Structure 1
Amino acid sequence: MRVVLLGTAASGGFPRWNCACVRCDAARDGKLPARGPECAAVTGNSRDWWLLNASPDIRAQLTAAPALWPGPRHTPVRGVLLTDAEPDHVSGLAVLRDAARLKTYAAPPVLAALAPARAGLDRHAPWEWADSLTEGGFVLAGGLVVTAHPVPGKPPAYVPGRSSDRRWVTVYRIEDLATGRVLVYAPRVSAWSGLLEDLVADADGVVLDGTHFAADETGDTGRHLPVSGPTGSLTALARHPGVRRIYTHLADSNPLLDPTTTARAQISEAGAEVLPDGTEFAL
């Protein structure tokens, strides 16, 4: 299984267009690497690629990844697996609108929230929309079998009213049928749970929500599991030293963006990683 980290930043990318914090200014000055909104791609056979979310920067992200460049008559991108309905994860679908026969998987409330966009996209090229939570999972072209697992999360702000559906956020378990290797993709997690514990324990690699390093980093508490602290993800991941552990979806407030910080040294010592956009790795 090959994985490309197309983007590793949180909403708005890094630096954010409307932020002049120390880290964003350092990125503008070239002192820290810029990062696009979180998005990745995965394949089991190096021919059929599947996007994990579709960021608003997807055109530039695909252009920067030679493995995903199109041939004379086709693109190797077969479709998209959405983890949620947040704008930074779904707006890139509009960029992909002229590619026929793409298949997009998402949980039922996400598919419902995207109904107006889906109608517009289907006028450009025929797509297939599928329930990612279908019982027993599903098989992707290229020899990957996927199961989707709902985790606690809220609907995006653009969804009107209150939703009683609790399936707004999804974690994906992706297994390569040829090798048995397993990737867990969880870029949005609000709390560690028994479900996550079991998924990571069975995995060879995990790409995990690293939005905030500390719980009190910003006022946006409760939406993302912090990295540090006794109940943070780094403590939980320490129970799985044989799993490759990679953080993504980094907010501009996060000291992990700077490789010279003690925060970065702390996760490195614990065996976890922060990788630049465009990194490819194999499981």
Structure 2
Amino acid sequence: MLRILVLGAAAGGGVPQWNCGCPACRASRSEPGLQRTQASIAVSADAKHWFLINASPDLRQQLGATPQLHPKAGSLRHSPVAGVILTNGEVDAVAGLLSMREGSPFTIYAHPRVLAILKANSIFNVLSETNVRRLPIAIDGSFEPILPDGSPSGLEVLAFAVAGKGAWYLEGKSHPEGGDGAGDTLGLRIADKATGNYFYFLAACAEVTDDLKRRISGAPLVFFDGTVWRDDELIAAGLGNKTGQAMGHISMSGDNGAIAALSGLGIDRKMFLHINNSNPALLRDTAERKAVERAGWQIAADGMEIVL
């Protein structure tokens, strides 16, 4: 069986964000059920060995809150985490790697552009290559992640390029890998090789193209970018000066938003994650949340477990 754990469902900064007094952050400080850590999931084919999809800055907290990811009883040093698959090089996807520096073996899988970012930043050298291998992901090429002892995981991962943008901290600077940006934002199709069950993971997406529609049509489950409800949301709320598009994210609403673009594709279960604190759909009783649910979408929450 294919098992999925939602470790975190929020965009960068989480909910509540440490310095924010917006409605969602204020409400979440008194209502723990509204709180979200930064987006990441874990996936397994055997319920024993797990692969993280992105390593958020909240990873230490997420691992502590997830019994399936605790060391096994009687072991001084052990982790069920066999690897980390990165879909981009943003801070909220890679910073958690620094919490995994205590010597347990695992493998990092990422596009060469993201691996180049890690290599160029010496702080990631705390992840000794003696224990932590770094393997490149090819766009539109399937691979099977391996366990620390070299045995197969039973998973099959297909990475593909989606519309997006590079890490914001590299804006105006030369990318360590150069090139045209292909590979800075990836979507994943993750399958259980034994059963054939699969799902899609797209934590960032700036546009739903015809190719993307073809890929995910009829999928049992899709995790999709839910960063903002409307494109100018942060500007209208006085929380920032960038649109969702400028940050590389499609809005939930609108004629070209995710809800409209992904309707009628026969997807069994549609789940928004990477949800920003500015997004009113986070709050249960808002008109935006009701519109999400009427359209057949769910808002992901930390601690969810899904079995396919």
Q: TM-score range by the shorter chain?
A: over 0.9
Alignment of 1:8-157 (within 5 A): 8-30=9-31, 33-71=34-72, 72=75, 73-115=77-119, 116-117=121-122, 120-123=125-128, 126-133=131-138, 136-140=141-145, 141-157=152-168
Aligned residues of 2:221 and 2:268 also touching (Cα < 8 A): yes
Partner of 1:274: 299
Tell me the SS of whatever aligns to 1:61. Answer: helix
Q: Which moved more, 1:68-77 or 1:34-43?
A: 68-77
1:220 aligns with 2:243: yes
The C-alpha deviation readout for 1:72-123, integer Å capped at 9, x for no partner, is 2421100101010001110100101124321111111111011034761343
Question: Once the 2 structures are TM-superposed, how far is the Cα of residue 281 of structure 1 from its aligned partner?
Answer: 0.8
Question: Once the 2 structures are TM-superposed, how far is the Cα of residue 268 of structure 1 from its aligned partner?
Answer: 1.0
Partner of 1:238: 263
The C-alpha deviation readout for 1:25-66, integer Å capped at 9, x for no partner, is 111122761110111100111111000000111011011111
Alignment of 1:164-175 (within 5 A): 164-166=179-181, 167-175=183-191
Q: Which moved more, 1:162-171 or 1:66-75?
A: 162-171
Any gaps of 5 or more consecutive residues in structure 2?
146-151, 235-241
Tell me the SS of whatever aligns to 2:144. Answer: strand
Aligned residues of 1:148 and 1:172 also touching (Cα < 8 A): yes
Looking at structure 2, the residues matched to 129 and 150 of structure 1 have their Cα atoms a distance apart, in angstroms, of 20
Aligned residues of 2:218 and 2:266 also touching (Cα < 8 A): no
Task: Call closer, same or farther: CA 1:60–1:121 in 2, change over 3 Å.
Answer: same
1:186 aligns with 2:177: no
Aligned-CA RMSD value: 1.8
Q: Which moved more, 1:73-82 or 1:121-130?
A: 121-130
| Identity, % of aligned positions | 35
Any gaps of 5 or more consecutive residues in structure 1?
none
Question: Once the 2 structures are TM-superposed, how far is the Cα of residue 145 of structure 1 from its aligned partner?
Answer: 0.4
The C-alpha deviation readout for 1:142-194, integer Å capped at 9, x for no partner, is 31100111122222133333653322111011111121111100000011012
Task: Give the partner amino acid of 2:25.
Answer: C
Looking at structure 1, the residues matched to 10 and 124 of structure 2 have their Cα atoms a distance apart, in angstroms, of 29
Length, aligned pairs only: 283
Task: Give the partner amino acid of 1:138.
Answer: F
Tell me the SS of whatever aligns to 1:171. Answer: strand
Divergent runs of 4+, >4 A: none
Aligned residues of 1:208 and 1:246 also touching (Cα < 8 A): yes
Aligned residues of 1:97 and 1:124 also touching (Cα < 8 A): no
Aligned residues of 1:148 and 1:173 also touching (Cα < 8 A): yes
Q: TM-score, normalised by structure 2?
A: 0.87
Looking at structure 2, the residues matched to 139 and 164 of structure 1 have their Cα atoms a distance apart, in angstroms, of 27
Tell me the SS of whatever aligns to 1:214. Answer: coil
Question: Once the 2 structures are TM-superposed, how far is the Cα of residue 237 of structure 1 from its aligned partner?
Answer: 2.2
Question: Once the 2 structures are TM-superposed, how far is the Cα of residue 239 of structure 1 from its aligned partner?
Answer: 1.5
Partner of 2:174: 161
Looking at structure 2, the residues matched to 152 and 276 of structure 1 have their Cα atoms a distance apart, in angstroms, of 25
Partner of 1:261: 286
Aligned residues of 1:200 and 1:243 also touching (Cα < 8 A): no
